[in-house]
Every structure is written in C-alpha cells, then in structure tokens.
A and B are shown apart, each in its own frame.
Chain A
Amino acid sequence: MALLEIRDLHAEVDGKEILKGINLTVEPGEVHAIMGPNGSGKSTLSYVLAGRDGYEVTGGEVIYDGKNLLDLAPEERACEGVFLAFQYPVEIPGVAGTTFLRHSVNAKRKYQGEAEFDAMEFVKFVRGKAKDLNMPDDMLKRAVNVGFSGGEKKRNETLQMAVLEPKLAILDETDSGLDIDALKLVADGVNALRAPERAMLVITHYQRLLDYVVPDKVHVLANGRIIKSGDKSLALELEEHGYAHILEAAA
C-alpha cells in the first residue's frame, strides 16, 4: 500500500485557486522531488499536507497511511508521522529548543500510547540523535531558531526530524538561503535519515540539492498541476534547459 496518495487535489488561498488537480503516489522508502518555478504551488502543497489554516482544500483527497489526512488537525498529522521541514523555520523567543522538542516528542508518544520521557530521559534521547547526525546539540539550549544563521535553522529542522522519526518528511525548499557548505551538512543529515519505511517529499526550485539528496522520482509542478514526472535525469534536464523548455513542451 502506498504511504501517500494524493488524488485530484484542489486548494485555494484567499479565494484564489493555487492547486488545480494534483495526483501523486509515494511508496514507503521513496524520495520524490517536486520541482517547479516560483508561484507554481510547491509551498502551498506542503502547507496543505501539514494542515495550515488559510489553505482551503476545495476538492480531491489525500490518503496517508490508510487514513484521510485532510480530516486531521495539524498536530494529529504530526503525531501520525507527517513532518514538515519549514522553508522559513519560525523563531520562538523565550522557548528553549530542548523544552520545545520535549513537548513535541512527548505529545507524539502520548498520542501513540507510549510513556512520556522525563527531562533526563529526554536529554539522553536527544543527545543520541544529535550524535547519529554528527550535529552539536548546543543549539537546543538556545531559544528556538532565535539568532540562528540560515544554516543553523535548517540543521535544527533536520535534528527535529531525526528526533520525531516521521514516516513522511516534507522538505520545503530546504536548500534556500544556504551556502554550499551548509547545504552539504543539511543534505548529509537528510541522507542519514533515509530509511526503508520512511518516505520524503523534497520540494525545491533548484537542482543542486538533488546532487546530494538523490531522488527516486522527480515531478515538475507548474500552475498547480504536475505536468511531467520522471527519474533523477529530469532534474538535470531542468537544470540544463530551465523551466521554460518543459512548460512549452507541456503546453
């Protein structure tokens, strides 16, 4: 059974239709890249899947792990294993990273009927995860994302992903705002989290992230629809000829 099945998904923002019939099937263990020009609906798709207010689904359905995803609140989706790595991770002054993540992990454990971690158990758990990713855990002592560089914010998202162990990770423009060194670090983290039971949806404008996180499938999103799908070579084709070439061919 597919982990994620999106069927004829329509969605609008402020009364304007942005997604105009998306169809996409993702199997466990697969990494799918969704590429597209600005304004094609990439971020809207990620927000609709995560359940953000203001992104209204007007048609179609999303079946995730056998459930109707669109019926669930954002926090229920997260507890069911959907993880959105934000394009712009949000700063939360006054909340230490550890506190934030402990609330998060314990919410998920409670939802799944597992015992919650106490403070000591949690610190041990997080340190282990940070070590697996070869990341320092000192940024967890600071307020969430406050004063972080672009690279730190994205690495923090990756660490959160590791800690929350999602079944479906949606990476929204994870490469934006990163220099090449930061990009490699983040990509290493993402690759370390690839697993047979875990699927990833990598949303990106540029091909360069896909040099490091190599996708199983590539889809081109334009004007609210997937107009072309292929393997990783499609990304290279886009890099070489730009979006205009494919848009013309599809027209």
Chain B
Amino acid sequence: MSGNVQEQTLEPVLERLLDAAPGGRPADEGARGPLAALRAEGRRAIAAAGLPTQKSEPWKYTSLNALRKVEWSGPAGDGADFDTVKSALPVLDAYTVVLLNGRFDSVLSDLNGLPKGVRVLPLPEAMSDSAVTDTLASLIPLDMAPMAALNTAHLDDGVLVRIDAGKALDKPLHIVSVGYAGSAPAAYHPRFLIQLDENAEATVIESHIGLKGAPTFSNTVTEVVLAPSARLGHYKLQDQAVDGFDLSTTAIRCSDKSVYDGFTLSLGLGTVRNDVRMTLDGEHVEGRLNGAYLGHGGSHVDNTTFIDHAKPNSTSREVFKGVLADESRGVFQGKILVRPDAQNTDGHQLNKSLLLSDKAEADSKPELEIYADDVRCSHGATIGALDDEQLFYLRARGIDAVTARAILVQAFLMEALDEIQKASVRDALHEHLAARLQPLFKGGLV
C-alpha cells in the first residue's frame, strides 16, 4: 500500500509545480494559438499520468519523492551573480544564448554575426513558421513522457535553432541555461528545438548551471530534427551547485545519412535524470550518444536512453562512463530497439562505472530488443574500483596514493570525453573538467 501513499503525496507536488511557472500559471482561459494548444495538451497528459514513481519501470532507480519536501514556486531570478556563471562554464569561442530560469535573456545573449540561413530565436517569435509549429512537441509521446508533458504544460518561452539547407554555423552555439532561486525554491522548464535542414551543420552546447541559493527544479525538453545529410554536434554540461533537480528529456530524429554526435557531462549535485530518445529514422545514419558523469556528495545521476533503429544500414554508438564517490548513485538504462526493417544495423553500447567509496552505488541495465536478423549489436557493462596495478605503478614512481587516485579518476573521465567528435569542444571540456576537479580532489573526493 506504500505505493498508493506515494502517489497520493506526489499529487499536491504536481499541483504546486503546475502553478510554479515564472510569473505564475499562464492564463489560458480562452487563449488561442499553437503554444496555448500545446500547453493544454501538456496539462492533459501530465494530469492523466501523474508524476512518475518508482513503480514505473523507466523510473525504477530514480525517485522524485524528495520533491515533496520543497515548497516550489515560480522563480523571481533577481540578483543572480553572472560572474559565478562564467566560472562554471567551459571557455569557448561561441555564439551565446542565455536563459535565466528558462527565460530567453536577450541582454545577456550574444548572437552578433550569425551567418545567413541560421536562426536562433525565442520560441514564441518563431510560431508563425509552420515548419516550427508542425515539429514542436511532435517528437515525444507526451502520454509516455510525464516530465516532457509537465514541461509542455508550461511552454511559453524557449529557443529555436534552425539551420537552412546547406548552411553551417561557423562557430558553436552555446546555450546557457541558468537556474537561480534566490531565497525561495524555484521550478522552471527550459525548452529547445533544434532543426537542421538538408546538409546543414552545427555544433550546439547546452550548459545547465544551477547557482548557489535555494534549490532549483530544472525540467528541460530538447527536440532535435536532422534532415538528410545534416550533421549536429550536441553537447551538454550539467552542473548544479546545490541539491536540487536537473531533469531533461531529449528526443532526436535522424534522417538518411545524418550524423548526430551527442555527449552529456554531468558534474553537479542533486538529482539528475536524462531521458534520451534517439530515432534512427533513415539509412546510413551515424548516431552517437555518449556521456560521462561524476557522482559526489549525495548526488544521483540517471541516464536513461532509448535508441530506435527504424531503418536499415545505420550505426549507433553509446558509451557512458561514470565515477561515483561519497554516497552518490549512478544509473544507466540503455535500451536499443532494432525494428524488423532495420537490417544491417550496427549498434554498440558500453557502460563503465568506477566506484570510489563503499557507500556509492551503480546500477546498469542494458536492454537489447532485436527483431531484424542481420545485425551487429553488442553491449557491455563494468562496475569496479580503481585498478590496484595502476595505483602501484604510479606510487612506485614516487606519486603519493591520494594523488595517484586523483590522476586515475581524472584520466577515466578525460578518456570518456574523447568520444566527443568536435575537437574544439572536446578540448574546452577537457580543460573545464580538469579545473572543476581540482577543488573536489582537495576536498577529499578520492
């Protein structure tokens, strides 16, 4: 019966979260337009499904019960310290979009010099374009994705990134989503739509930063649509400074010969949950879904992915590597579906966890569902401690035990970053990670 108690107690949380939009719940009585219609659809779906509990299989390892302990409200966002934000970001030569608590901030954003054929806009300004309205909220079945439904129930801002056919972004676009609650816990719902037309190319980095203060509840939805031969590098950094929630739902649809290179680096505190659904809806697609995470303190990092091979002759690669220290927990759930039509699929999946403490925990659940008969699919999962031989080798060269452990932990994460195909982003994240780790090492992480 405890399950019923849990469900009952999450209901008031949902009510509070629905009210807790920046500026309050949008007044949709009699409102028209595509965004209002989507919000209504989102509200219907989340009201029907409720917030997910651990009784639901995809949420088996991750609990949202702690949401109950907090009086969520719509964030004010006054007094955020942007110098702190800068120090939490990788150093990149990039166009920048800044969102404060999910709101497009045109003063802090810098989009000067965007090339022709590239549009980066607040979502409401893009709603006259049918290519946008037809796509927005179309990639995620809201009835099966409660957090995306909750996001959609609040859909009144966000960012559109659209690259016309044959065009390319000449430098990366860095979307910085800053959560700042000040003194009252705050919930917000960033929303992104990235559309690359035929043979377009772009690199987009999402940095999700939570500033010190009361906890934040960030619930992001990103939809990505790649037309034939489009190429997207899509990289994400998550770093919350306090024990809040950083949840995201990402849906990617790849057409013929497109390339998607995705990477998620999670370094912050609190509860992190990334739901990623990549559909290889074309032939000769190269889909890469990789990530690295560092659990520390009492943090909880859950990467739940679904790779859907819908057409023949495509390749997917998935490597997630996590370091789990202190009392943290890492979860990886990776489902790969190969549909009957998807002959000659090549799918590879690997999850490696490094446990640094007796109280840390790793859960790894690969799931292959294969209906085509001519495929190459593999998966592997390892969970272990630091390697004694490597530690001894370093110590035998004069390096003390703590430094040796730090070197190996850093190397483990650095190696994971090597999956990133875009060299400038890879290098920037290498440097960012090294700098981010130093104070953690000094604080006794290893």
Residue ranges of A at the interface with B (Cβ–Cβ < 8 Å):
50-53, 73-75, 77-79, 84, 86, 89-90, 92-95, 99-101, 103-105, 107-108, 111, 160, 164
Chain B positions within 8 Å of A164 at CB level: 397-398
**Known A90-B390, A107-B400; contact A74-B395, beta-carbon cutoff 8 A:** yes
Do B392 and A74 have beta carbons less than 8 Å apart?
yes
Q: Is B165 an interface residue (CB 8 A)?
A: no
**Known A53-B388, A90-B393; contact A108-B415, beta-carbon cutoff 8 A:** no
Chain B positions within 8 Å of A100 at CB level: 394, 397, 407
Do B398 and A92 have beta carbons less than 8 Å apart?
no
Do A95 and B407 have beta carbons less than 8 Å apart?
yes
Q: Is B144 an interface residue (CB 8 A)?
A: no
Per the bound structure, the CA–CA distance linking A44 and B387 in Å amounts to: 20
How far apart are B329's CB and chain A's nearest CB, in angstroms?
Answer: 24
Chain B positions within 8 Å of A107 at CB level: 397-400, 403
Do A74 and B411 have beta carbons less than 8 Å apart?
no
Do B395 and A79 have beta carbons less than 8 Å apart?
no
A-B contact pairs, 17 of them (CB 8 A): A51-B396, A73-B401, A74-B392, A77-B396, A78-B396, A86-B393, A90-B393, A92-B393, A93-B415, A94-B410, A95-B411, A100-B394, A104-B399, A107-B400, A107-B403, A108-B398, A111-B398
Residue of B nearest to A82 (CB): B396
Chain B positions within 8 Å of A75 at CB level: 395-401, 404
Do A103 and B407 have beta carbons less than 8 Å apart?
yes
Per the bound structure, the CA–CA distance linking A238 and B406 in Å amounts to: 46
Per the bound structure, the CA–CA distance linking A53 and B401 in Å amounts to: 12
Question: Is the contact region of chain B dominated by helix, strand, or loop, or is it mixed?
Answer: helix
Per the bound structure, the CA–CA distance linking A78 and B398 in Å amounts to: 5
Chain A positions within 8 Å of B388 at CB level: 53
Do A104 and B397 have beta carbons less than 8 Å apart?
yes
Q: Is B140 an interface residue (CB 8 A)?
A: no
Per the bound structure, the CA–CA distance linking A34 and B398 in Å amounts to: 25
Chain A positions within 8 Å of B403 at CB level: 103, 107
Chain B positions within 8 Å of A99 at CB level: 407
Per the bound structure, the CA–CA distance linking A78 and B403 in Å amounts to: 15
Question: Is the contact region of chain A dominated by helix, strand, or loop, or is it mixed?
Answer: helix
Which residues of chain B from 365 to 408 have any CB-CB distance to chain A below 8 Å in the complex? 388-390, 392-401, 403-404, 407-408
Q: Is B412 an interface residue (CB 8 A)?
A: yes
Per the bound structure, the CA–CA distance linking A96 and B78 in Å amounts to: 45
Chain A positions within 8 Å of B400 at CB level: 73, 75, 107
Q: How many residues of B contact A (CB 8 A)?
A: 23
Residue of A nearest to B388 (CB): A53
Chain A positions within 8 Å of B410 at CB level: 94
Q: Is B85 an interface residue (CB 8 A)?
A: no
Q: Is B121 an interface residue (CB 8 A)?
A: no
Per the bound structure, the CA–CA distance linking A93 and B411 in Å amounts to: 7
Do A84 and B415 have beta carbons less than 8 Å apart?
no
Per the bound structure, the CA–CA distance linking A101 and B390 in Å amounts to: 14
How far apart are B22's CB and chain A's nearest CB, in angstroms?
Answer: 42
Chain B positions within 8 Å of A74 at CB level: 392, 395-396
Beyond A94-B418, A101-B397, 8 additional pairs, beta carbon < 8 A: A52-B392, A52-B396, A53-B392, A74-B392, A75-B396, A78-B395, A92-B393, A103-B407
Q: Is B414 an interface residue (CB 8 A)?
A: yes
Per the bound structure, the CA–CA distance linking A74 and B391 in Å amounts to: 10
Chain B positions within 8 Å of A104 at CB level: 394, 397-399
Which of B395, B414, B418 has a CB less than 8 Å from the CB of A73? B395
How far apart are B246's CB and chain A's nearest CB, in angstroms?
Answer: 26
Per the bound structure, the CA–CA distance linking A104 and B399 in Å amounts to: 6
Per the bound structure, the CA–CA distance linking A52 and B395 in Å amounts to: 9
Which residues of chain B from 106 to 156 have any CB-CB distance to chain A below 8 Å in the complex? none
Listed from nearest, the 4 A-B pairs whose CB atoms lie closest are A94-B411, A94-B415, A78-B398, A90-B393
